[in-house]
Amino acid sequence: MEMEMEDNKAPSPPSPMESDVAGEKRKREDDASSSAILAAANNTGGAQHPMWKTSLCSFFRRRAASSADGCSHGDSCRYAHSEEELRPRPDGTWDPTSDRAKKLRKVAADEVEEEVVTIDDKALDKCLVGLPRGWANDRLKTFLQDKGISYATAKKKKGMTVGFVTFENIEQLKNAIEVLTENQSGGKEIKIADANRRSHQKLHTEKPVSDNGVTTENGTSVDVPPGETSAPEAAISNKKSVRDAVTPLAHMSYNDQLEHKKNSVAQILKRLTRNARKACPTGIPLPDWVFKSKEIGGLPCKLEGILESPVINGYRNKCEFSVGFSLEGKKRVGFMLGNFREGVTAVEEPVDCPNVSEISCKYALMFQDFLQSSSLPVWNRVDNCGFWRQFTVREGRCRAQAVAQNAETQISEVMLIVQVCSTGVDDALMKDEFDKLTVALQQGAATCSPPLPLTTIVVQDHKGISNAAPADCPLIPLLVPKVDQSEGTVDKTRIHDHIGNLWFSISPTAFFQVNTLAAERLYTLAGDWANLNSGTLLFDVCCGTGTIGLTLAHRVGMVVGIEMNESAVSDAERNALINGVSNCRFVCGKAEDVMGSLLTEYLGSPQQDIPVSEGAVSGTVKDEEVIDGSKNSGENLDSSMQKNDNGESQQLGDAPADSSSSAIDEIKGNSNDRVGNGLEGSHDEYNEVAGEDIHGEASLINESVDLKVSDCLEDRKTSDGSSISNNDVTAATACQFEDIVAIVDPPRVGLHPTVIKALRTHPRIRRLVYISCNPDSLVANAIELCTPSSEKQEKNKGNRGWRTMSSAGLARQRTKSMPNSEPFVPKRAMAVDLFPHTSHCEMVMLFER
């Protein structure tokens, strides 16, 4: 054990004396090596060693000495001390640092770069090679103008050594070749070469317009054979189909997929152990779990396998289809064949993708057919222009059929989201296109056999470069369910899904797990590991629509959810109301902005475990809504404790009657006359197929709950009739909780460092369940949570290499500034397969201290 402790101690920096000793040792080794070579030469009767004098001496390279007077190796030095003394190596090459090698490389480069530039009316797109990396579009245009080079368009991105220029005619091209051949810029030779247009640009782009407004001749369509494509897309098409790009593991059996993912997760978890060793401060012993990792193959904790998905095919309830051009240059709605960074922008239909439902594929094909006759262009990822950008299909499933194995029969509601870019498009033309699109989708859904469900159609107007639109992006409803006009304006752009016995309302941009049935297993596992009870205060960080907190609310005293998406918080409030859950509070704001204040509000400061007074978070929380949060939490806590103490396993839907359940009863009672009202299109026909009674109940609640949410919340706030401040009651109620647990489900980038710091430094949080869709970010966050901290913090100094650091490397750097606090210990880990046929999976990890 003592030997093991010695092996794991952090290495101390060498003293100056040790450094000198090490330098002398290296010198003796070099001398011995040279002597051995010299002795070998002498023993062979004067024959020289093959590597004798084939490399320049380092002393010569530094000081350009012409003799060995100053060389530390002495007369026995086996290195050359001049270019004349240098000999070629056995393979015929020369020392790379020598003048001969440099001249040979330059000659070889000139031979390679001497390519024939095509001079043709149909090849006026050229590439400039060797440009400074700091140049952008403006600097390139200035350079061309200074050189007297006329052109149509010029493009260059900062950080690249390549720019693209389109000429108006052959005369301009010839002049550019002559000028660039004779003149150099800053001692560097800028060469001109042919540039290949992508396939869709060759076939379907209009004539490019020059910077001065003149239309060029190079925009004419080029007759390219159907099977001929350009650049990396041609290579990609020969190797990868859309099935390979979207579901790379589809060729494997499901058991083999699970084993493959389990092994991948195990390798990623081993990084946590290795990085924890590196991040541990000098003078502080390694944690016990690091030592014990040797007993379990280097894992930080036991990996308890992988939980399989109940549904393997057609499980996705949300599919985001890209809009673009195929390899043949045709308009397509589907998935990209590769990464844009690889130069691949081709889009192909989602055929033979086992994770996509048949309903989603049918709607994608309908939208693709509509684009063929649309007068507005599709989005061009190269030029960042166009109108039609993305097509998203979101599906909702019935409660009664939630246990069915056939995912296709579960779908009862469908939301279609069309992402566009309205920049430079006339409003009248855009409205006309939207009207045509609505009719096309409605008719297409109605003519299918059986008719497809269609609940709502929403347009998202996004003007950014990436298709990842912000949460506050404008939404335009095109199709909403029919409602009584006397009820006023009601937000109907939402669908519903079920997890267990709970009914969830989902808005267009809200997060909801794409595999509903597997998500139910995931949340159950997280709740079991969290060891919840009636005295637990649960923090649900990055709660989305409240799925985790609401599914576990009946097992805890109170839930506090944190989410930055306002529409998702609104959905969470609705979900709590319609399910009769009264012990949940949802706060709208970034977790890094509100987490520290919420912990202080409920648990007191990290230094003092006492509740704070009124106004602890009022200055930092952007917007918060309480679902019977603090004012009634004492009563709810007592009733929750009573139920648990009696050992009753009452479901959330069977919660005691309160303002929420009364509101639901009122909704149902006052809405019987509207049960028969269906949705536009063919949705009524589908209800008869899917089950009219079940979906009728969902429809009537959906039509009325919007009108009741604000009233019920207001009634709740005023029902006490007391003037006690919200924060005082909240803090007083929080003192009743004996167990504080946090469950985090962050996006792929992981938790913000500020959130990690708040969770790590608060002593009352003893248990943390981390749910991650990206095991790499989980490892990075776990490094900060589990690495011991030193009493003396190191301020983060400017590090020029942070841009090239891995996420784990950045985490190790942040641990140096972590306040002195008790670290977490990884206890359990398990993978959950929410994404069959792909290489991704969810990861659940339990941390305790």
Active site amino acids: 773
Of the candidates 404, 399, 400, 245, the residue with the CA atom closest to the CA atom of residue 314: 404
Report the distance separating Cα 50 and Cα 41, nearest Å. Answer: 9
**Residue 767 to residues 237, 591, 797: CA-CA distances in angstroms?**
49, 18, 32
Residue pair 838/258 in contact (Cβ under 8 Å)? The answer is: no
CA distances from 770 to 741, 844, 847 (A): 11, 6, 8
CB within 8 Å of 476: residues ≥ 6 apart: 434, 458, 459, 460, 461
**Angle 591-603/726-734 helices, nearest 10 degrees?**
70
- Most distant CA atoms of the chain, gap in Å: 112
Q: Looking at the DSSP assignment, which residues form a beta bridge with residue 137?
A: none
How far apart (Å, rounded) are the C-alpha atoms in residues 571 and 559? Answer: 16
Cβ contact 594:619 at 8 Å: no
Q: What sign for the dihedral angle of Cα 28, 29, 30, 36?
A: positive
CB 774 within 8 A of CB 835: no
Name the token pair of 544. 């989305």
Tokens of 100: 């001969």
Q: Enter the tokens of residue 35.
A: 């002597």
- Which position has the token pair 């859904």? 445
Angle, helix 566-578 to helix 659-670, in steps of 10 degrees: 80
End-to-end CA distance of the chain: 24
Q: Would residue 749 be called left, alpha or beta, if left means φ above 0 and alpha means ψ between -120 and 50 degrees? A: alpha
Residue by residue, DSSP assigns 142-192 as HHHHHTT---SEEE--TT-SEEEEE-SSHHHHHHHHHHHHH--BTTB--EE
Place of tokens 């890094």: 592
Phi, psi of 767 (to 5 degrees): -140, 135
3-state secondary structure of 663: helix
Q: In 606-763, which residue ranges form alpha helices assigned H by DSSP?
A: 633-645, 659-670, 683-690, 692-719, 726-734, 753-761
Query: Amino acid identity, residue 133?
Result: R
| DSSP state string for 12-58 | PPPPHHHHHHHHHHHHHHHHHHHHHHHHHHHHTTTPPPTTTT-SB-H
Q: How many CB atoms neighbour CB 31 within 10 A? A: 15
**Which residue, among 347, 349, 345, has the nearest Cα to 364 in the 3D structure?**
349
